[in-house]
């Protein structure tokens, strides 16, 4: 049996060192515990075959012919949510072993060889016949918005997505209400079709091109400069997959969390809750690990007055999956609910009363998980969470409000040798007096100092004002480095530095942080 798509990963499959980090990693960076169990599926099902290492062994045996494909293998192939947590944890290569890509390649091969899941055949047929996976008549797509008349052209297209249009309609309605209240010039496409995400995840890619070409042409016709979606699946597809398939488009693609973040920064919207709320945030895999948007949703939540954001034990890059992605909810519903219920337990442990997410799939999955666990947690999608707190226009946020922050930024600009040894694209985020900025390494001894928080930093550093005042007085970079180390190792009440590593140690070493730490005497 030919496995031509999986065969493309044959060499990479051999790079797996069988360390087992993808099922149980000794990484304090990812969790407050000493160990971290990245694979939400393996955590429920227990067997090694469901974590990345086991999956790699099975795929090797499939390629060598030692293992025959049968219905058990097909079932197993569709139990991976392709959440990418194992890849983030894996240090076999700089990017980690591309397990989600391999699983999607294998699924393509299964389909090519006639191994089908009946439910998936139905999904594909539905996308072909109705332009959505839910067998809903295409002409009813916009009926959820009532008789509203949509302009033919606008600056922004709100791309609704099938799940919000047919199954999670509150998300679509509140997104529209929110954009309307803020006064955004926006429209929706009269003939929007499925973004194709479900086809890619299930390995049934035949119709993807036609959907994409249709949707790109429709957005162009609307003359939009921005396409905004509240669905993490649609967002990843537009932002990552459509481009990977060789398409380009003349508009910007933003997730609603990114767009709202911009509107808040520009002073076009502000939010405050009438009652104090403790809120936690679940990172959708398609928005976080697959498209690297972690900070924008947090900034939006933190901008809401009277709201305290508390993090779950696993968050951002290492957040556990909700279980609803990668086709798992469709073919293994009970497994999906059990994974979601584990995530609910993590959310409950924060003491939050509200769990916010930013994806209709996560919202559905987590709601089902909460039912299974009989949890009283309120689970809301971000626009639904925000709408009742809308307070009209706000104040424009100044990126350089603190003088100390400006002084520090200028100092670092003048001393790029502080970052000697770091590889291009290393990112360090700084915080002083509650103000953020970041340094981006652009080449050998060249940096860019950017006055806003880094979206996806390697390291987050927090400085006391006293530490900054002392550091910026040094002429020589070596003196700066030495003092930097002392502030970390021997902090005083007024002068200290704290840091959080956002990448695991091996990846930090690959980016050149060893030299940086050595100069500071940290290693």
- Comparing CB distances to ligand SF4, the nearer of 39 and 162 is 39
Does position 409 bind ligand SF4 by CB under 6 A? Answer: no
Q: Where are the beta strands (DSSP E) in 221-351?
A: 226-229, 252-255, 272-281, 305-309
Rounded to the nearest whole angstrom, what is the least distance from the CB of residue 51 to ligand SF4 in the complex? 6
Single out the residue of 297, 273, 208 nearest to residue 247, CA to CA: 208
Does position 82 bind ligand SF4 by CB under 6 A? Answer: yes
- Comparing CB distances to ligand SF4, the nearer of 23 and 464 is 23
Binder to ligand SF4 among 12, 19, 63, 390 (CB under 6 A)? Answer: 19
Contact partners, residue 88, CB within 8 Å, separation at least 6: 38, 96, 289, 317, 318, 504
Does position 309 bind ligand SF4 by CB under 6 A? Answer: no
Does position 200 bind ligand SF4 by CB under 6 A? Answer: no
List C-alpha distances in Å: 377 to 26, 218, 337, 388.
30, 40, 15, 18
Does position 483 bind ligand SF4 by CB under 6 A? Answer: no
Does position 84 bind ligand SF4 by CB under 6 A? Answer: yes
Does position 17 bind ligand SF4 by CB under 6 A? Answer: yes
List C-alpha distances in Å: 186 to 179, 213, 284, 485.
8, 21, 25, 51
Does position 18 bind ligand SF4 by CB under 6 A? Answer: yes
Of 50-58, 59-67, 242-250, 439-447, the window that binds ligand SF4 (rule: CB under 6 A) is 50-58
Does position 340 bind ligand SF4 by CB under 6 A? Answer: no
Of 38-46, 198-206, 304-312, 498-506, the window that binds ligand SF4 (rule: CB under 6 A) is 38-46
Does position 86 bind ligand SF4 by CB under 6 A? Answer: yes
Q: Are strands 226-229 and 427-432 parallel, antiparallel or unpaired?
A: unpaired
Rounded to the nearest whole angstrom, what is the least distance from the CB of residue 9 to ligand SF4 in the complex? 12
Does position 22 bind ligand SF4 by CB under 6 A? Answer: yes
List C-alpha distances in Å: 108 to 6, 138, 336, 360.
8, 27, 22, 25
Rounded to the nearest whole angstrom, what is the least distance from the CB of residue 235 to ligand SF4 in the complex? 18
- Buried b / exposed e across 33-43, counting CB within 10 Å, b at 16+? eeebbbbbbbb
Does position 16 bind ligand SF4 by CB under 6 A? Answer: yes
Of 75-83, 152-160, 237-245, 354-362, the window that binds ligand SF4 (rule: CB under 6 A) is 75-83
- Comparing CB distances to ligand SF4, the nearer of 85 and 174 is 85
Tokens describing residue 115: 């191994």
Binder to ligand SF4 among 97, 157, 224, 386 (CB under 6 A)? Answer: 97
Does position 99 bind ligand SF4 by CB under 6 A? Answer: yes
Tokens describing residue 160: 């609704």
Of 76-84, 151-159, 228-236, 489-497, the window that binds ligand SF4 (rule: CB under 6 A) is 76-84
Rounded to the nearest whole angstrom, what is the least distance from the CB of residue 312 to ligand SF4 in the complex? 17
Does position 83 bind ligand SF4 by CB under 6 A? Answer: yes
Of 87-95, 111-119, 287-295, 304-312, the window that binds ligand SF4 (rule: CB under 6 A) is 87-95
Residue 414 contacts residue 447 (beta carbons within 8 Å): no
CA dihedral (151, 152, 157, 159) in degrees, to 10, reads 100
**In the sheet where 354-357 sits, what is the strand order?**
305-309, 272-281, 354-357, 378-381
- Rounded-to-5 percentages of helix, strand, coil across the chain: 45, 15, 40
Task: Tell me how far the alpha carbon of residue 433 is from its chain's centroid.
Answer: 28
Does position 106 bind ligand SF4 by CB under 6 A? Answer: no
Tokens describing residue 51: 């974590």
Q: Where are the beta strands (DSSP E) in 86-229?
A: 156-159, 186-187, 226-229
Contact partners, residue 521, CB within 8 Å, separation at least 6: 481, 482, 485, 486, 489
Single out the residue of 41, 22, 3, 24 nearest to residue 325, CA to CA: 41
| Number of residues counted as binding ligand SF4 (CB under 6 A) | 30
- Comparing CB distances to ligand SF4, the nearer of 211 and 328 is 328
Residues near ligand SF4 (CB under 6 A): 16-22, 38-41, 51-53, 55-56, 80-86, 89-90, 92, 97, 99-100, 321
């Amino acid at each position: 049996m030919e496995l031509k798509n999986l065969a493309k990963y044959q060499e990479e499959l051999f790079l797996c060192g069988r360390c087992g980090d993808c099922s149980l990693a000794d990484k304090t960076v990812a969790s407050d515990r000493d160990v971290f169990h990245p694979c939400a599926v393996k955590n429920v099902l227990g067997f090694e075959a469901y974590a990345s290492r086991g999956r790699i062994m099975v795929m090797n045996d499939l390629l060598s012919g030692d293992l025959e494909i049968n219905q058990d293998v097909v079932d197993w192939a569709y139990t991976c949510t392709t959440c990418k947590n194992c890849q983030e944890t894996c240090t076999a290569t700089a990017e980690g072993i591309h397990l989600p890509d391999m699983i999607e390649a294998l699924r393509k091969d299964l389909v090519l060889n006639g191994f089908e899941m009946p439910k998936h055949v139905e999904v594909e047929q539905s996308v072909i016949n109705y332009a959505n996976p839910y067998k809903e008549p295409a002409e009813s797509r916009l009926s959820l918005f009532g008789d509203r008349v949509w302009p033919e052209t606008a600056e922004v297209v709100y791309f609704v997505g099938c799940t919000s249009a047919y199954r999670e309609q509150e998300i679509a309605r509140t997104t529209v209400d929110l954009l309307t209240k803020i006064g955004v010039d926006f429209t929706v496409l009269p003939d929007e079709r499925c973004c194709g995400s479900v086809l890619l995840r299930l390995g049934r890619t035949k119709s993807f091109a036609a959907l994409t070409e249709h949707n790109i042409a429709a957005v162009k016709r609307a003359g939009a400069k921005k396409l905004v979606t509240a669905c993490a699946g649609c967002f990843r597809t537009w932002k990552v997959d459509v481009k990977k398939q060789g398409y380009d488009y003349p508009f910007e693609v933003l997730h609603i969390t990114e767009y709202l973040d911009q509107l808040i920064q520009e002073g076009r919207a502000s939010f405050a809750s009438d009652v104090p709320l403790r809120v936690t945030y679940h990172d959708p895999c398609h928005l976080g690990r697959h498209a690297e948007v972690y900070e924008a949703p947090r900034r939006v939540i933190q901008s809401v007055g009277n709201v305290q954001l508390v993090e779950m034990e696993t968050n951002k890059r290492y957040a556990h999956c909700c279980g609803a992605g990668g086709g798992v909810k469709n073919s293994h519903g009970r497994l999906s609910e059990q994974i979601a219920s584990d995530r609910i337990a993590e959310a409950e442990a924060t003491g939050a009363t509200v769990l916010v997410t930013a994806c209709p799939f996560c919202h559905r999955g987590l709601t089902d998980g909460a039912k299974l666990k009989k949890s009283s947690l309120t689970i809301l999608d971000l626009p639904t969470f925000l709408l009742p707190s809308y307070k009209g226009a706000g104040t424009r946020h100044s990126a350089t409000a603190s003088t100390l922050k400006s002084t520090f930024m200028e100092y670092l600009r003048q001393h790029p040798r502080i970052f000697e040894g770091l590889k291009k694209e290393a990112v360090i985020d700084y915080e002083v007096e509650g103000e953020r900025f970041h340094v981006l390494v652009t080449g050998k001894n060249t940096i860019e100092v950017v006055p806003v928080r880094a979206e996806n930093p390697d390291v987050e550093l927090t400085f006391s004002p006293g530490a900054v005042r002392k550091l910026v007085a040094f002429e020589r970079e070596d003196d700066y480095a030495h003092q930097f180390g002392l502030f970390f190792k021997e902090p005083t009440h007024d002068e200290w530095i704290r840091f959080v590593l956002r990448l695991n140690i091996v990846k930090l070493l690959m980016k050149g942080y060893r030299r940086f730490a050595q100069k500071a005497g940290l290693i």
